[in-house]
A and B are shown apart, each in its own frame.
Chain A
Amino acid sequence: MYSEKVMEHFRHPRNVGEMENPDGTGRVGNPVCGDIMELYIKVKDGVIVDAKFQTFGCGAAIATSSMVTELVKGKTLDEALKISNKTVAEALDGLPANKLHCSVLAEEALQAAIEDYRKKV
């Protein structure tokens, strides 16, 4: 049911683990199924220079976390805020309809991390 791309990111998730002293942290829970995603970013001169994640969730949740960390690296905060769950799902060659809500989790975690960063500075 998952695309090859999803499976590839699931099997070899990029940027996994906790980040030491992140500049922004976003933690969101999925109200639909109860999963949790944590996203950490490092910001330098308004650009996201590093991103990492930790996820307790399904294959799609893990793959979208991995993909979103890849997508944000090198982007300015404003550019990163434009990344929607659709962008993430498309980058993974699509998600099954009942798994689209997992990509919303990725979008929300990213927004929360940026918000957290902006609150701090």
Chain B
Amino acid sequence: MKKLIYLDNNATTPVRPEVVEVMDFCHTECFGNPSTVYSFGRNAKRVMDESREKIARMIDASKDEIVFTSGGTEADNLAVFGIAKANKDKGKHIITSKIEHHAVINSCKALEKDGFEITYLDVDKYGIVNLEQLERTIKKETILISIMHANNEIGTIEPIAEIGKIAKKHKIYFHSDTVQSIGKINVDVKEMNLDMISISSHKLYGPKGIGCLYVKKGTRIKPILYGGEQEHHLRAGTENVPGIAGFGRAMELAVTETDKENKRLTRLRDMLQEGLAKRIMHIIFNGHPTERLPGTLNCAIQFIEGESLILKLDDLGICASTGSACSSASLEPSHVLMAIGLPHEIAHGSLRLSLGRDTTDEDIDYVLDVLPKAVEELRAFSPLYKEFLKKGK
């Protein structure tokens, strides 16, 4: 088989060998239940505590502020429902944005059915939330602001520190989905006035099915899962010890290497973007030009449809993704591309290439060599392209 060029690192990442090593150790050497009293079980508890401490240190939090969950989705659900349940006596208004991950948006939609009022903030054409609208919509019933740090589709980085200041001024809990930002840019919960953040291990070269919610000490929050007393009574269930150990190691490595990897990926991504701009006519780049995740490149290639392009790239050994309506089960175009104001037919040709640790200069050269040809082939029988060319003449 030809080489696989994996450019879908915002969807998930490969597990690093250093992480596999600690997980293997857990699977074989300390499979005990961390809640038990005997020393063998305590070994598992120790591994878990060490991991918790590592993760806390990486975001400037303390270890009892980390609640392990089954991933980013559960962390987002816990933040939204947990705050809603514990604070509904104060008010039933939540502010979020139109470009959040579905884990947040659909949690909010479920709360709407239970009588909560949700404000979905608009974003500008780059995907930056409207801060003026945020200030304007805050009221005394507002109990939570949930705005993601970086968007998974277009990579735009939100002004989290500024939102943190606004939330603090109005004494409203502030949650941020940092699933895409941790390990790619710096996250500091104190500096950014964050009360809660969601982290997912499989986006930072750790295992799938594990993540955490950072919950600042003193936050009024209730569990969404009931059972045992694990995770400071906030998340029942026997802990996924190997997952937690792997997550901790992955997080430690990713955060420590952030600056170096950020520079490397930014260079490669810019090389890719400039190369595509030169080789493909009628291409639009989405997301903020500078306030953007280092490895994320989202573009819309006019007159072709994204799913067919992904299939062509797959034949060429390249893994990528699209926000086209045709590629989603609901047959709706990506809500993020709609929110930044892309017309339906342009969102149709969207392509996301997300680079990662394994991406090399040669990979970028290869993509620049074959992608324009794939686009040409699809355009050759696109009725929209034909019309466009005729109009031009």
* A residues in contact (CB < 8 Å) with B: 2, 7, 10-11, 13, 16-18, 27, 32-38, 53-59, 61-62, 98, 101-102
Contacts and interface: CB of A to CB of B under 8 A. Distances in A.
Contacts of A16: 380-381
B315 A11 contact: yes
Interface in B360-393: 380-386
A56 B311 contact: no
B303 A56 contact: yes
A62 B308 contact: yes
A7 B308 CA distance: 10
10 contacts: A7-B311, A13-B381, A34-B345, A55-B381, A55-B382, A55-B383, A56-B303, A57-B305, A58-B326, A61-B305
A62 B377 CA distance: 12
Q: Is the interface of A mostly helix, strand, loop or mixed?
A: mixed
Contacts of A62: 308, 381
Nearest to B303: A56
Interface string B338-373: 000000110010000000000000000000000000
Given A35-B348, A98-B331, 19 more contacts: A2-B311, A10-B308, A10-B311, A11-B315, A33-B331, A34-B345, A36-B384, A37-B383, A56-B304, A56-B348, A56-B382, A56-B383, A57-B305, A57-B326, A58-B305, A58-B307, A58-B326, A62-B381, A101-B331
Interface centre among B307, B345, B348, B385, by most A CB within 10 Å?
A: B307
Contacts of A56: 303-305, 348, 382-385
A54 B386 contact: yes
B331 A57 contact: no
A17 B381 contact: yes
Interface centre among A17, A18, A33, by most B CB within 10 Å?
A: A33
B311 A59 contact: yes
Interface string B303-325: 11101100100010000000011
Contacts of A17: 380-381
B308 A53 contact: no
A33 B326 contact: yes
Interface centre among A17, A36, A101, A102, by most B CB within 10 Å?
A: A36
A27 B383 contact: yes
Nearest to B327: A58
A54 B307 CA distance: 16
Contacts of B325: 32-34
B37 interface: no
B1 interface: no
A58 B306 CA distance: 7
